[in-house]
Amino acid sequence: MDFALSEEQAAIFDMARAFGEEHIAPFARDWESRGEIPKDLWPKLAELGFGGLYVREENGGSGLTRLDATLVFEALSMSCASVASFLSIHNMCAAMIDKFGSDEVRARFLPGAVSMESVWSYCLTEPGSGSDAAALKTRAAKTEAGYSLTGTKAFISGGGYSDAYIVMARTGDDSPRGISALIVEDGAEGLSFGGLEAKMGWKSQPTRQVQLDDCDIPAANLLGNEGEGFKYAMMGLDGGRLNISACSLGAAQAALDATIAYMGERKAFGQSIDQFQALQFRLADMEIELQAARTFLRQAAWKLDTGAPDATKFCAMAKKFVTEAASQVADQCLQLHGGYGYLADYGIEKIVRDLRVHQILEGTNEIMRLIVVRNLLASR
Amino acid sequence: MKILVPVKRVIDYNVKVRVKADGSGVDLANVKMSMNPFDEIAVEEAIRLKEAGKADEVVLVSIGVKQAQETIRNGLAMGADRGILVTAAEDVHTDIEPLAVAKILKAIVDEEQPGLVIMGKQAIDNDMNATGQMLAALLGWGQATFASELAVEGDSAVVTREVDGGLQTIKVALPAVVTADLRLNEPRYASLPNIMKAKKKPVDEKTAGDYGVDVAPRLEVVKTSEPPTRQAGEMVGSVDELVTKLKAAGAI
């Protein structure tokens, strides 16, 4: 058993972290107040291979494993969880095009996705279906030329910002097998967006409803096979859970690093506050929590990469554990900063706000527990 | 033309340096190590020359402990073609002195016959600033140190040097040794595909003995000490008070 990162993995982490420190961290607050990540950031990331992390190398991607990808997201999230998680969504779309798309679909869409000249968003959730995703109502009716989509997608990261959307819509009956994955490009007739959602965190990525109203798309925009969309969506979940966990971990680590530095400088009652044993114990507890989270996350990623039969269960357990541990650490870091932690200048309150949603999306942490317990009971 | 770039594994510039208790040097145990930043600039310059069609191969050399292989891999990930690892020490605290490094490099230059050697002007650990100059002397080649601009034109190189009080532009015949200063370029990030490709690039493994070079130290470190800790400041109430205090301290 070997827990060490390989030389390449260490290099991947260092590179992603250094890129974030130079090109993301100094601007993260500004992007948050503007409510948008400048689009010229994406080709810079793509040039380094971040646009197609798990797209196969022969198709222009970086061909990383899911464990490698967790390193990328942990490292980038040290600069900004909102930017890192947005990149994760784009990469899920790029991977779906690579994995399920026909040669023609790949040829049309993959180069733009990998170079991030086109930024991609993913539309599964609807106003009336979140955890129960298979109950989605958006309908794709067959037309002579392809499909006509009608319905509403909710909480769409990059809605009204991205260049293309992978939309899960019903082409058949009401069962999960009636769902297909369809590509809708920005500018399509019948595609419109709701107002900008005001959110607690993730403020630099615009979130809007995506509205489809007799939106016609060509038959060639079907991704993979008709009726298999839900299967594709489910296949992407484990990896998405790892990524969001990695985003939590990196941001919490950044909060802890900042807190350790702050506590060495801040004085109270005649000494720096890192000399108070009660506070030292809290630092130790946070370090233990994050290291445990990191080990658990990487084990889950390793299981997914090696095709372990219990990979889904481990991804669910890690997602629940890591996102909660990271949020608790971020909250403690805010507390240890005192009043300054509550001020935006210190960067801690942003981390607390950004990480909160990680317990809700990519499957709520309640759904994670459900996956675990179903697995437990089934193995009796 | 082939370009040879020597790269040194040094303590990472972000690490807070701690002096060993016995004062014999800096504690390097369990400390993050990276490529010397000036060497990274040298690697970048060599790769740019290759991309511009002025060179056809970039070869990296690192001399030190076997972990210096990582440093070579980092340079290969940036875009260099192959590496030569010369193991010359077992313990990371053993520093190979500039003269020994220059002698090994000379032997490698004799074998590899590069048209240009580009290296950092100095390593950020010991700040010797000597190896490039010594190598040029041993080879009998021209040297252009502290380069902030480099242009290869035919069989010579035009180099802008950062000297005290300004810039000096010189022309040196090739082959030559060029040492890189901070402003020569900004090194690129290694892309993910290139990081993955780097492990497939060849790295020759040698020892100092293969080149018949004695790496035993000729210098003795007498003492290493931390810089004095910064004294606490003092708030002054007015400009007059500030001026009085500065005068009293002999600062003005």
Residue A57 domain-assigned (yes or no): yes
End position of a domain, from candidates A64, A87, A119? A119
Query: What pLDDT score does A38 carry?
Result: 97
Distance from the first to the final alpha carbon of chain B: 56
For chain B, say whether A11 makes contact (Cβ under 8 Å). yes
Residues A105 and A133 in one domain: no
User: In this complex, do B77 and A11 lie within 8 Å of one another by their Cβ atoms?
Assistant: yes
A110 and A136 belong to one structural domain: no
Q: Report pLDDT for B234.
A: 84
pTM of the model: 0.91
Residue A2 located in a structural domain: no
Give ∠ CA A309-A310-A313 in degrees, rounded to 5: 145
For A63, name the nearest residue in chain B, comparing CA atoms only. B193
Of A119, A135, A153, the last residue of a domain is A119
Question: Is residue A224 domain-shared with residue A108, that is, in the same domain?
Answer: no
Q: Are residues A244 and A223 in the same domain?
A: no
Classify residue A321: in a domain, yes or no: yes
Question: Which CATH number does the domain housing residue A219 bear?
Answer: 2.40.110.10
Query: Taking CB atoms and an 8 Å limit, are B190 and A15 in contact across chains?
Result: yes
Residue A184 belongs to what H/E stretch?
strand A179-185
Domain count, chain A: 3
Q: For position A31, which CATH number holds?
A: 1.10.540.10
Task: List alpha helices for chain A, DSSP H.
Answer: 7-23, 28-34, 41-47, 66-77, 81-100, 103-115, 229-265, 277-305, 311-336, 348-356, 365-378
Instruction: In whole angstroms, give the CA distance from residue A202 to residue A86.
Output: 9
Strand A120-123 to strand A164-170: parallel, antiparallel, or no bridges (unpaired)? parallel
Contact A7 B199 (CB under 8 A): yes
**Residue A53 shares a structural domain with residue A156:** no
What percent of chain A has pLDDT above 90? 96
* A221 and A287 assigned to the same domain: no
**Does A41 reside within a domain?**
yes
Cβ of A15 and B73 within 8 Å? no
Indicate whether A242 and A370 sit together in one domain.
Answer: yes
pLDDT digits (tens, 9 = 90+) for A62-112: 999 999 999 999 999 999 999 999 999 999 999 999 999 999 999 999 999
Q: Answer yes or no: are the C-beta atoms of B84 and B59 closer than 8 Å.
A: yes
- CB-side neighbour CA atoms (13 Å) of A131: 11
User: Which residue from B189, B191, B199 is facing A8, i.e. has the nearest CB?
Assistant: B199
From chain A, pick out residues whose CB is under 8 angstroms from the CB of B77.
Answer: 11
| CATH value at residue A362 | 1.20.140.10
Judge if A143 and A100 occupy the same domain: no
A62 neighbors B193 (Cβ within 8 angstroms):
yes
Report the gap between the CA of A62 and the closest CA in chain B (Å): 5
Residues of A in contact with B70 (CB under 8 A): 7, 10
Residue B141 carries which DSSP code? -
Cα gap A55→A230, rounded to integer Å:
20
- pLDDT for B252: 85
Who wins on pLDDT, B21 or A13? Answer: A13
Establish if A220 belongs to a structural domain.
Answer: yes
Mean per-residue pLDDT over chain B, rounded: 95
- Mutation target to probe the A interface, by most A beta carbons within 10 A, among B14, B195, B199, B229 is B195
Q: Which of A89, A119, A149 is the last residue of a domain?
A: A119
Q: Give the pLDDT confidence of B52-105 residue by residue, as tens digits.
A: 999 999 999 999 999 999 999 999 999 999 999 999 999 988 889 999 999 999
Q: Let me know if residue A1 belongs to a domain.
A: no
Q: Give percent above pLDDT 70 in chain A.
A: 100
pLDDT at B211: 96
Residue of A5, A6, A8 best to disrupt the B interface, most CBs of B under 10 A: A8
CB < 8 Å to A64, chain B? 192, 196
Q: Do B198 and A12 touch (CB under 8 A)?
A: no
CB distance A15–B198 less than 8 Å? no
Same domain for A131 and A86: no
Task: Give residue-wise pLDDT tens across range A153-162.
Answer: 999 999 999 9
Q: Tell me the mean pLDDT in the region A309-330.
A: 97
Are the CB atoms for A92 and A165 separated by under 8 Å? no
| pLDDT tens digits for range A167-224 | 999 999 999 999 999 999 999 999 999 999 999 999 999 999 999 999 999 999 999 9
ipTM score here? 0.89
Positions in chain B short of pLDDT 70: none
Buried b (16+ CB within 10 A) or exposed e, B200-237: ebebeebebeebebebeeeeeeeeeeeeeeeeeeeeee
CA distance A82 to A116: 17
pLDDT score for A82:
98
A33 shares its domain with A95: yes
Which among A7, A104, A362, A366 is annotated as catalytic? A362
Residue type, A23: H
CA of A254, closest CA in chain B: separation in Å? 15
Q: Encode pLDDT of A251-303 as tens digits.
A: 999 999 999 999 999 999 999 999 999 999 999 999 999 999 999 999 999 99
Is A13 at the interface with chain B, CB within 8 A? no
3-state secondary structure of A218: strand
Instruction: Name the residue facing A15 among B73, B189, B199 (closest C-beta).
Output: B189
**Residue B29 has what pLDDT?**
87
- Pair (A262, A353) in one structural domain: yes
Closest residue by Cα to residue A317 from A329, A303, A331, A330: A303
User: Of B125, B100, B127, which Cα lies nearest the Cα of B33?
Assistant: B125
List Cβ neighbours of A344 (8 Å cut-off, separation of 6 or more): A29, A350
| Closest C-alpha to A134, from A99, A165, A172, A96 | A172
Token digits of residue B206: 């040698």
Q: Is residue A65 part of a domain?
A: yes
Burial class (CB in 10 A: 0-12, 13-18, 19+), A196: middle
Let me know if residue A258 belongs to a domain: yes
Q: Which of B3, B176, B199, B8 is nearest to B86 (CA)?
A: B8
pLDDT for the residue A1: 78
- For residue A62, the enclosing domain spans 7-119
Region A119-141: what's the mean pLDDT? 93
Q: Are residues A240 and A365 in the same domain?
A: yes
Domains of chain B: 2-248 (3.40.50.620)
**How many Cβ pairs closer than 8 A exist between chain A and B?**
45
Q: Which of A11, A19, A53 sits opposite B195 (nearest CB)?
A: A11
Active site residue A74: no
